[in-house]
Amino acid sequence: MSKTLIKIAQQLKDANRKVQLIYAFNGVGKTRLSREFKELIAPKFEDGEEAKVRRAKVLYYNAFTEDLFYWDNDLEGDAERKLKIQPNAYTQWVLQEQGQDQNAISHFQHYTSDKLTPHFSADFSEVTFSFERGNDERTENIKISKGEESNFIWSIFYSLIEQVIDELNIPEPGERATDQYDPLEYIFIDDPVSSLDENHLIELAVNLAALIKSSDFTNGQGLKFIISTHNPLFYNVLYNELKVKSGMILRKNEDGTFDLEEKKGDSNHSFSYHLYLKQLIEQAIADNSIQKYHFTLLRNLYEKTASFLGYPSWSELLPDNKQTYFNRIIQFTSHSTLSNEAVAEPSGPEKNTVALLLNHLVTNYGFWQQAEIKENANGSAL
């Protein structure tokens, strides 16, 4: 039944689930839905003590979060470029009071470059960026790209929710470092992945899922997370890592109303998750552009196939001399974090291993032929 975004926001609130995962194309209304949800929980024009409590119930990340940050480009001198931070309680608490600026910097450099260094002012009202070359050379006051800026803002928000979850997981409120987030009930995250490549996108999804799973939720009590995205890979990594029972698709109708369609279990395969990952690897093989994260995708395919066919371990699907191939894949993957910072770039023979193992999986296990036939017959929802 078609609904307004306000009614869909109410539906999300009434669900009382720890995690609700939403897919929607860009332009459908994800960001507006996050705003409607925020207004439902904490109306903007309310005043007084009760209004303050209501505003503390929801924390959200969307395009409006990025509006808290804006550039002073020093048009006259063209030298002192700064990213300004509008005064707000969130960044003040996480950066100034909790001292999470170094964590935010670490997250940012992980997703961009360890040579690209943010420098907060003493009062955390602005940030400058320099490029460190590992020697005495250093480029000061550079203006970072829009994608890097988005990553930086997300890194601050991620550090915030890390700290919030750590605090709220302390069972005794009196032992927490602050009572500011005691009333918090909802965290709404809309598309933090628009500027990431597949490697970092997968890693972000896995790390975010691990963070959400670490948040205490007992007997329907605890933080509730709503995550919306336009990216099918990000959606499906979250879906599988969080082991949610269902996901949702937000659609906009011609009359301006919306549908929020629930998709349970295997119906989420309409996102072509497995075939999409297979196609990513095939394209990389064709382009001779195998990178470290393709080993992670390959391992994911082996794990899902083994689970579907009832094998106790994905390594049992490997060709003869299993231990050699197992060690080769493990060298480039870490299932807990997908971290590969210390691993060298794959060599030519190692890249050939990806092609060999993908071909082995597809040609020796009928699951893949059946999946492709089913997908071709039904069509992809995306």
Domain-wise residue ranges, the chain: 1-57+183-271, 68-170, 273-378
Q: Which is higher by pLDDT, 18 or 266?
A: 18
pLDDT at 18: 97
- How does pLDDT run across 156-186, given as a tens digit for each residue? 999 999 999 999 999 999 999 888 889 999 9
Give the position of tokens 């933090």.
Answer: 192
pLDDT at 330: 77
pLDDT band, residue 40 (cuts 50/70/90): very high
Computed from CA positions of residues 46, 49, 54, 58, in that sequence, does the dihedral angle turn out positive or negative? positive
pLDDT at 71: 94
CB 195 within 8 A of CB 151: yes
pLDDT at 302: 85
CB 24 within 8 A of CB 230: yes
pLDDT band, residue 378 (cuts 50/70/90): very low
Q: Indicate the average pLDDT of the chain.
A: 83
Q: Which two tokens stand for residue 157?
A: 């928000």
CB 26 within 8 A of CB 230: yes
pLDDT at 251: 86
CB 196 within 8 A of CB 67: no
The angle subtended at Cα 223 by Cα 112 and Cα 204, nearest 5°, is 20
* CATH 3.40.50 corresponds to the domain 1-57+183-271: yes
- How does pLDDT run across 70-108, given as a tens digit for each residue? 999 877 777 789 999 998 877 887 888 888 999 999 999
Q: Which is higher by pLDDT, 189 or 270?
A: 189
CA distance 288 to 290: 6
Q: Which residues 6+ apart lie within 8 Å of 361 measured at CB? A: 301, 302, 305, 317, 368
Confidence (pTM): 0.70
pLDDT at 215: 97
pLDDT band, residue 344 (cuts 50/70/90): low
pLDDT band, residue 308 (cuts 50/70/90): low
What letter does residue 184 receive in the DSSP assignment? -
- How does pLDDT run across 243-258, given as a tens digit for each residue? 888 889 898 888 999 9
pLDDT at 380: 38
What is the pLDDT averaged over residues 127-140?
A: 83
